[in-house]
Structure 1
Amino acid sequence: MKKTLAICAALAMAALGALGCSEAEDEAPGKITWPDGRKAAIALTYDDALDTHLDVALPALDARALKGTFFVTVGSYPFTARFEEWRALTGAGHELANHTLFHPCTGGPGRDWVMADRDLATYTAGRFVDELALTNRILEALDGESVRTYAYTCGDTEAGGESIIEALAPYAIAARTVRQETPVDGNGLPDTYLIGTYAEGDPTGAQLIAYAERILAEGTVGTYLFHDIEGEHLSVTAQAHGELLDWLVDHEDEIWVTTFREIMEHVRAHEAAE
């Protein structure tokens, strides 16, 4: 009798496995279930609050009903000069995210453009956090949101020689780097404070799409870092940008394209359930 039950149990498990619904598969570490049966998630992010974000990127996104995340430097002239336009984009479902008050970066060899009073090497962690918190308050006055995400300025993760990664937790639920790869934790889940991105200079549409295809194949989360669109600062052409957006629309049943904040809230909820 015991032998018969064992055989039946083995057959049942084999049948479940063939259907793709085995317990082992359902509880696979690092496996994130994306909304509406989609297989991956991508956030389109735009750094530095540049004029071309409002003039070129935003209309391109809105024409395709796609949502973007704008990592804004609130002390920059393009932000302060077009304050109401930045406020308005949040009403269309786009995200205003924290990219600091003055965009400080670590100076040194090869970074002669970093101003002395904006050098993260001379900051203290306390000064960095104070400016981060002030930026959040300014953004909350615009969009009423209390949950924020962050993008490392110039990819730098230290202030005054101290790591700022752990200091981010009270002010941002997640952070995007400038590196392409995302580290994973012991369960295979993405490190929400070191989310990778595609940030290659002057890419073609095909190169942009190839990254999205990789994210889809891996079933994970990916982001794009754009600066100028048809501009002068680390620019991408409007054509290449548009080709990517069109491809994402064509694959909307497979890839969840939404704001960085919404994706990270989903990932964090998955982490909490583990």
Structure 2
Amino acid sequence: MRKRTTTAGGTGPHSVPRHAAAAGTLALLAALAPSAARPEAPDRPGATRIAAWRDDKAAVFLMLFDDSVNSHLTNVVPELKRRGMVGTFYINPGAGWYKAKQDAWEKEVPATGMVYGNHTLTHSGAKDAAQLEAELAGCDAAIARAFPALKTPRLVSFGRPGVKKEQWLVTDEELKQALARHHLVERPDIGGRIAGVTQKTGAEILRLADQALESGGVERILFHGVGGDWLSLPMPEFLALLDGLVARKDRLWVTDPISAHQYETERAGAEAKVLEAGAARIRVSLACTADPALYDLPLTLVTRVPASWTQCQVSQGKAKATVTAARGEVRYDARPGTEEIVILPAGRQER
């Protein structure tokens, strides 16, 4: 899908292909080196494009952890935290192994920046719509306890538990309706991406990340145990994976499924319009057709500025930041809505 930005003097093309920023804030980025993989922006000041992915990264990679097993607490979370990475943990708060570590799951892990997904309450399946409702609601309640400060309603990722066929008897339509009621979004299909089973080494998993970089899209890997528990990936292989992702961090957005889904949905319905591009200031509006109550993740914009503007003040509403331009471009995050973005050379005050 393609969008076009418009300026007072004409039009300029930009491509629009597709947890986690806090609501009510504007994130403005200081690391502004443009990606070498993208087409060069038009030369005229004011030309603005919506980045394909957050921070103008080339692709997305998701790490998904099922069943809230003990090795996630002992082996996974500490290593992710050490590297400033995020993983998405699909919890079963009614399972005995979760209850034995409930304080860790509901008090300690949320403070590390990790994200939770709904994997049903007990991982026992759903033989009818009533059982499905109870399973989803019970897991939702545990996620709300763990993250009481997050707004409601909000989108949460859903991963269907792997159970025997006779344990999952709800229809696709019943599941669709239940997910919609609970604001749950089904995660991307795993399709042969299971650590320790289909990908047995860190190098094999990193090939998925490289495939994402080649395509500019989204790749993912599903874990169960890591260095323990069931369907386990050995710990040295997990560490090799994380180190490889760190080496790719300048090009790869390692995030959670909801953030990737929000960004892609918003980007597909967004339009950046240049309202003014003069020697004194640049003004940009950012509109989006997605429901702002659920789709409120900032989008990354890249705007061409005059060569003399090496430092810029970027503001949207009450949020302001001074950012550095690189190769005549300034990169920043902005929320779609009614508040326009104003870019000034540093030191100049808005009238």
From 196, 211, 214, the counterpart of 1:214: 211
| Aligned partners of 2:71 and 2:227 also within 8 Å | yes
| Higher alpha-carbon deviation: 168-177 or 238-247 | 168-177
Q: Deviations over 1:74-105 (max 9, x none)?
A: 11122111111112111121112111011124
Letter of the structure 1 residue corresponding to residue 83 of structure 2: R
Which deviations, in whole Å up to 9, do the C-alpha atoms of 1:168-222 show, x marking residues without a partner?
1232442225533xxxxxxxxxxxxxxxx72150611111111110011111122
Q: CA deviation at 1:150?
A: 0.9
**Contact 2:87 2:256 (8 Å CA) reproduced:** yes
2:201 to 187, 199, 204: 204
User: How many pairs does the alignment contain?
Assistant: 220
Shift of residue 268, structure 1, vs aligned partner: 2.9
Identity %: 25
Which residue of structure 2 lines up, in the alignment, with residue 57 of structure 1? 76
**Contact 2:64 2:88 (C-alpha < 8 Å) held by counterparts:** yes
- Aligned residue identity for 1:168: L
Question: Which residue identity is paired with 1:94?
Answer: M
Asked if 1 retains the 8 angstrom alpha-carbon contact of 2:57 and 2:253, the reply is: yes
Q: Which one has a larger percent strand, Structure 1 or Structure 2?
A: 2
1:91 matched to 2:102? The reply is no
Q: What is the one-letter code of the residue matched to 2:186?
A: A
* Runs of 4+, deviation exceeding 4 Å: 27-32, 155-159
Q: Distance in 2 between matches of 1:216 and 1:126?
A: 42
Secondary structure of residue in 1 paired with 2:219: strand
Within 2, Cα distance between the matches of 1:29 and 1:233? 37
The offset of 1:166, in angstroms, is 4.3
Coordinate RMSD, CA, aligned: 2.6
Supply the distance in 2 between the matched residues of 1:98 and 1:138 (Cα, whole angstroms): 9
Task: Name the residue aligned to 1:170.
Answer: 181
Deviation at 1:132, TM superposition (A): 0.3
Partner SS state of residue 89, structure 2: strand
Q: Choose which of 258, 262, 266 in structure 1 pairs with 2:263.
A: 266
Indicate the residue corresponding to 2:285 in structure 1. none
**Inter-CA distance 271–166: structure 2 relative to 1 (3 Å threshold):** farther
1:74–1:218: structure 2 CA closer, same or farther, 3 Å change rule? same
Distance 2:17 2:147 in 1: 36
- Counterparts in 2 of 1:33 and 1:241: CA distance versus 1, 3 Å: same
- Give structure 1 stretches of 5+ with no counterpart: 1-20, 106-119, 181-196
User: Which segments of 5 or more consecutive residues in structure 2 lack a partner in the other structure?
Assistant: 1-10, 19-49, 271-288, 290-351
Cα distance change of structure 1 residues 217 and 176 upon mapping to structure 2, 3 Å threshold: same
Partner of 2:63, secondary structure, is: strand
What's the CA shift string for 1:96-130, capped at 9, x where partnerless?
2111011124xxxxxxxxxxxxxx4xx11232023
Task: From the superposition, tell whether residues 264 and 173 of structure 1 become closer, same or farther in structure 2 (CA, over 3 Å).
Answer: farther
